[in-house]
Structure 1
């Protein structure tokens, strides 16, 4: 099941069921169309809307990360600990999850994050600049700037 949300960075497709959210995808406008939304999906849509309006800094949603490896789950749990409006480097996050020196693996786990924004992989930057982002550098920069000004 899924719902859509128009955002300043483009339309999002929020995928889940009646209990949890499993994925957020950035899509094209011609892909819009919704299933019958569940309470969980509507709540995710509402919380993401509040985030983009600058009214929400933390999410309170059940997430389905069952397909992730143990390492990915550890990285993603570390991501949710990065405060709104703040950033960490890949190396700092590796230290935080007790895997010093694993910054490349942390980057790989970030790239596999199925629930961006809610699991804020955009808050991890390279030690020499912005770093990569699966959704593109412009989207990452927008999200970071949004959090600094909200």
Structure 2
């Protein structure tokens, strides 16, 4: 007798790319579609190698998800708890994630495809990627490129 695989869950295959770098820095990862924006932020921190030391924001369909508190941008509780399912993302649709407002690390996120899985395995999961992420507090793309060019022996750990 076959075992019941249980209900299928919707899994999104996302690709995130850090803009402005050559060679490119990108990751492909799988997340359950019911993940919240706050949870997605934490997944991005892990797959991109950031340390979650700075503010961030998402821009989806021209709307920024965060709110001002005492002159800084932070997630409001509602945005933090807003699930990806609320956006009904279409295949190949993209949105923006900015991390560290001083350095302005701009990431393009693309929803590559939606999968229905009865046994999704361990999620979230990074399944592919290329290039080491710049170190935390590097000072942005220009400073990163200068340091890389000036110190070719400078190691950026993957």
Indicate whether the TM-score tops 0.5. Answer: no
What's the TM-score once normalised by structure 1's chain length?
0.24
Structure scoring higher RCO (CA < 8 A, sep ≥ 6) equals: 2
Higher strand share: 2
Higher helix share: 1
